[in-house]
Amino acid sequence: MTPITTPSHTNILARLSRVARESGTVALWREALPWLCQVCGAQGGSVVLERPPTRFRHGVIPLATGLLIDAWEDTVLTASHWVPSADQSLSTPTPLEPMTTAGIPMLQILLEDGPVIQGGLSLVYGSLAEMNGPLADTASALAGAVGQLAALSAELQSSQRRLTQLNLLQEVGQSIASSLDLADVLRETTNLAASMLDAEGAALLLIDEDQQELIFAVPVGEKEHELRQQRMNINEGVAGWTLRRGQAVIVNDVRNDPRFTKSVDQATGFLTRSILCVPLQANARIVGVLEVVNKRNDQPFTQEDQEWVSALATQAAVAVANAQLFAREQQRVSELTALNQVAATLSQSLDLDKMLEAALTNVLTVVRADAGSIALLDSSGKNLDLRTVYGFDRNLQMLPRKVAVGSGLQGSVAASGEMVVVHDLAADARVGEESKEILARTGLRGAAILPVRSRGRVRGVLSVMVRRTRHFSAEELALLTSISQQIGVAVDNANLYTDLREERDRIIAVHEKVRHELVRDLHDGTAQVLSAMIMNMEVVKRTAASRPELLPRELAYLDDLTRQANREIRQLLFQLRPVILETQGLAAAIAVYAEQLRRHESYALYLELSTGDFKLTSQASGTVFAIVQEALNNIKKHAHASTVWIQVWVARDYLHVTVTDDGTGINMAAINAQYDQHGSFGLLNIRERARLLDAKLEFVSPRPDAGNGTQIQLCVPMDRLLHDKDEG
């Protein structure tokens, strides 16, 4: 063949430059190959390109020659991936040189851009004679020129692609900045990753920290419906490897990579061939993984792909972190709202059961739990009484209503005062078989059980349960702890209100008793004497008129009645509040009272006082005196005693008071069991007054060293007698 003229070369090169700019490397070589064959006098030619992997031919190529070209082009593609070893420099040439096959009229030329092999060119001639030296030199030079155009074209396309990618990244960043809708942002990001890399699919996987799993939160592609919400352990697969290492990875042949797991493919019917996986990392915290699978036309993922997807993943990580932060703040607002609602509920009602029911409902809502209960310690402190439950439906009646402290999960929490979190109730040895059967019916698996505390003491137990295995977050446990403490305070307040109401009722009853006794004493004693005085005054008037000699006798009788009335009124006043308590103290008041009783009661009374030299507060003196007085009143009404002993002494910083009688005695067990039915408040008054003094009180019947009678023993700390409670 005769080479074309020089002007034609110029025109062709200009055309090739335009094709390189507008259409890219492959189009350039398709246009250049016929021209190179014509210029170099070849009857046919073949081109192989490494990126993208492409082969095409032109002209006439004999079959045997074509087979040789195939083998050489395979070698070229292999050499294009060659990397210098550790003991070689980066400038070390590739182990493949352009060559002319001996005896075959063919030129084989490597297409290189510096040390990088782009591909290979084969020119086939009709005979060896046509392959003269100048033609071979011309072919190499022209191939080099086209190769430079191809390199420039590839660089231009790469720059355009990078510019497009940067624009897309900017758009993604703007979407992230303007939206807190996590689902929309992540789906847009995942779609972009798949489309820009021309891949069959992509997925954005987020961490479920409770389950320690990766969730296919946003899959796109052919199997996206099957993939959505699929889960895999964070220790499995290429995605798990990326998550644990925090490193991007390319696996272009998953069949030969031990990190790949087939579980997701088996679950969805998808066939994974290659994977590009990058971590979603924001502020040094990995929140998930972005995964792109199966580049189309069996193209491999490249380092450039990895760099771009990593940049995209950084933007996505920011979106995830922002949305999660926003979700956490919303959750925090919900928690604070629930906390306020619980506080409001607990403060608005003093009906304990209604208050506990409302508080439990709010607790379960804020921590997204399925069931729960509140149990409180009974008066003995040895058992938990179930007060309110939620979420057990028809199994409610099967729940044990009473649990012994130290028994089971709730009992162990009540005993230790420490919170317990259980991830699998069915496997916990502290759960009884009966309870496990109930839990199996309800589907409940995990639980957080907290002590209900107030003023440092356990008042009960709060149980919160869920139907799937999950880890309660530190924030949730802190919230539950705060709510359980509020419940404890509310329980104390409700109990205090109940105690105050009962105390009020008792005080009213005592006042009524005292009033009735005062009325009875006035009616039976003083009122009768005054009536006799009035009648005797009439007798005196008639006697003075009719028989004056009898007047002295009648006046003497009237004088006796007057003195008796005065004595009874003074005795009543002394019993109500002896003035001597204010002026001379407790010992003198007891001595005077004992002397009055000796004169008017049928029993013999013995008094032993040894109180020492100190002055009790007026409030303490009055309380101790009232206890002694009430004890003596009970002896008068019920004991039928012939002898009474009163002892008062001080020893080891305690005031001791005993009142002993030799009467019929009392059955304290029977009295305590049916006290409300007796209609008497004597023992109750003594107990209440002893409690006001923080005193120890005992009833011993029969009395010590005897077979009859009763002894009341009172032991009062001296610091409670020397200082009023509100003074210290």
Phi, psi of 436 (to 5 degrees): -60, -35
Helix (H) or strand (E) holding 195: helix 182-196
Q: How far apart are CA 645 and CA 661, in angstroms?
A: 6
Distance of CA 576 to the CA centre of its chain: 60
The answer as to whether 640 is a domain residue is yes
Q: How far apart are CA 431 and CA 445, in angstroms?
A: 12
- Which of 521, 550, 574 is a domain's end point? 574
The answer as to whether 536 is a domain residue is yes
pTM of the model: 0.43
Stretch 46-66: mean pLDDT, rounded? 87
pLDDT-derived band at 181 (thresholds 50, 70, 90) equals low
Do 475 and 563 share a domain, yes or no? Answer: yes
Q: What is the pLDDT of residue 725?
A: 44
Q: Across the chain, which distance is largest between two alpha carbons, in Å?
A: 190
pLDDT of residue 682 exceeding 80: no
Q: What residue type is 689 in one-letter code?
A: R
Q: Say if residues 197 and 313 touch (Cβ distance below 8 Å).
A: no
Stretch 188-199: mean pLDDT, rounded? 80
Judged on CB neighbours under 10 Å (0-12, 13-18, 19+), 202 is buried
- Which of 532, 559, 574 is a domain's end point? 574
pLDDT of residue 566 exceeding 50: yes
Q: Average pLDDT of the chain? A: 77
Structural domains counted in the chain: 4
- Kindly state the DSSP code that residue 405 receives in the 8-state scheme: T
Do 99 and 204 share a domain, yes or no? Answer: no
Q: Say if residues 580 and 617 touch (Cβ distance below 8 Å).
A: no
Judged on CB neighbours under 10 Å (0-12, 13-18, 19+), 693 is buried
Do 371 and 386 share a domain, yes or no? Answer: yes
The CB-side HSE value for 585 (13 A sphere, CA atoms) comes to 11
Do 634 and 517 share a domain, yes or no? Answer: no
Q: For 144-181, what is the HEC assignment?
A: HHHHHHHHHHHHHHHHHHHHHHHHHHHHHHHHHHHCCC
Q: Say if residues 120 and 110 touch (Cβ distance below 8 Å).
A: yes
The answer as to whether 596 is a domain residue is yes
Q: What is the pLDDT of residue 472?
A: 77
Do 418 and 532 share a domain, yes or no? Answer: yes
CATH of the domain at 675: 3.30.565.10
Do 411 and 521 share a domain, yes or no? Answer: yes
Do 590 and 547 share a domain, yes or no? Answer: no
Q: What is the pLDDT of residue 1?
A: 42
CATH of the domain at 141: 3.30.450.40
Q: What is the pLDDT of residue 90?
A: 47
Do 367 and 481 share a domain, yes or no? Answer: yes
Ranges 50-59, 251-260, 339-348, 665-674: which has the least confidence? 339-348
The answer as to whether 167 is a domain residue is no
pLDDT-derived band at 9 (thresholds 50, 70, 90) equals low
- Output the DSSP codes for 3-62: PPPHHHHHHHHHHHHHHHHHH-HHHHHHHHHHHHHHHHT-SEEEEEETTTTEEEEEE---
Do 110 and 200 share a domain, yes or no? Answer: no
- Cα angle 238, 242, 248 (rounded to 5 degrees) comes to 105
The answer as to whether 342 is a domain residue is no
pLDDT tens digits, 150-170? 777 666 666 556 655 556 555
Each residue of 638-662: b (16+ CB within 10 Å) or e? bbebeebbbbbebeeebbbbbbbbb
Do 354 and 476 share a domain, yes or no? Answer: yes
Helix (H) or strand (E) holding 373: strand 371-377
Stretch 400-424: mean pLDDT, rounded? 86
User: Which segments of 479-584 are extended strands (E)?
Assistant: none
The answer as to whether 168 is a domain residue is no
Q: What is the pLDDT of residue 715?
A: 92
Do 563 and 588 share a domain, yes or no? Answer: no
Phi, psi of 482 (to 5 degrees): -65, -45
- Could you list the residue range(s) of the whole structural domain that residue 697 is in? 577-722
Distance of CA 47 to the CA centre of its chain: 66
Stretch 649-669: mean pLDDT, rounded? 88
The answer as to whether 196 is a domain residue is yes
Q: What is the pLDDT of residue 297?
A: 79
The answer as to whether 369 is a domain residue is yes
Q: What is the pLDDT of residue 607?
A: 92
- Which of 574, 589, 612 is a domain's end point? 574
Sign of the dihedral through C-alpha 113, 115, 118, 123 = positive
Residue of 440 and 259 predicted with greater confidence: 259
Residue of 257 and 324 predicted with greater confidence: 257
Do 31 and 152 share a domain, yes or no? Answer: yes
